[in-house]
Amino acid sequence: MQPFWESLPRPFIIAHRGASRYAPENTLAAFRLAVAQGADAVELDAKLSRDGRIVVMHDNTVDRTTNGSGAVREMDWEALQRLSAGGEEDDPETAIPLLEDVLQAVAADVLVNIELTNYAAPSDDLPYLVADLITRLNLQERVWISSFNPWVLRRFAKRMPDVPIGFLIDDRYPWLYPLLRRFVPHQLTEPHLSLVNESAVRRWHAQGKLVAVYTVNDADDMRRLFAWGVDAIFTDDPPLAQEVREEFLAHSRV
């Protein structure tokens, strides 16, 4: 069986938290819009509510992105689902969604990158609960898992070794990746834009990794990365990325 990315155009475009330049991030509205805009994949952030539901939210708190306040892991799903992320009140398209609802809504149309963001509670059961959900929905060939935390990735890989893994590289701690990369099974290296240059891309490719760079919203940055041969970019602006990719591929064919 070929890896899922073999079917994707190169470089492939990952909608960061959905089409988050055009719709509230990490909402069904943003993910559906990314599909409509032609993204090859969507990225989302998963963590646990107090009562153990897998919710899609980037921050440790709901303060920045919703009309509520408080830490996600200290709130039950009943309270979280009543919050709005910027649309009409009681609109499920702009509410905090469950991971299951997002996967059922878009995984048939695009690949899904799930970032395990249990950074405030790294020993919780999130890796196992996400693995169990992927199995129940039979989406092993439609998703890959990412995290900045190598121990969380190792825990997920033990439960579900056949699902691809991306090791995110934090620009604040770039030394962590070369120190621990051999101890974390992963197929994708996912560096911050500031850490990428042509020689780094060659090095990661020589190590047998795909290179997916985050978060790239400037056309000149996209052109430079595409010329260096990166395999994918995370972007808030899928239409811009597609425009730049078409320009790049057209020039490459000349």
User: Any idea which residues carry the catalytic annotation?
Assistant: 16, 58
Q: What is the length of the chain?
A: 254
Which residue in 253, 195, 254, 252 sits closest to 229, CA to CA? 252
3-state class of 210 per DSSP? strand
Distance (Å, whole) CA 189 – CA 211: 5
- The answer to whether the CB of 46 falls within 8 A of the CB of 56 is yes
Which residue in 97, 19, 89 sits closest to 57, CA to CA? 97
Omega before residue 174 within 30° of 0, cis:
no
Q: For the chain, report the end-to-end CA distance as a whole number of angstroms.
A: 33
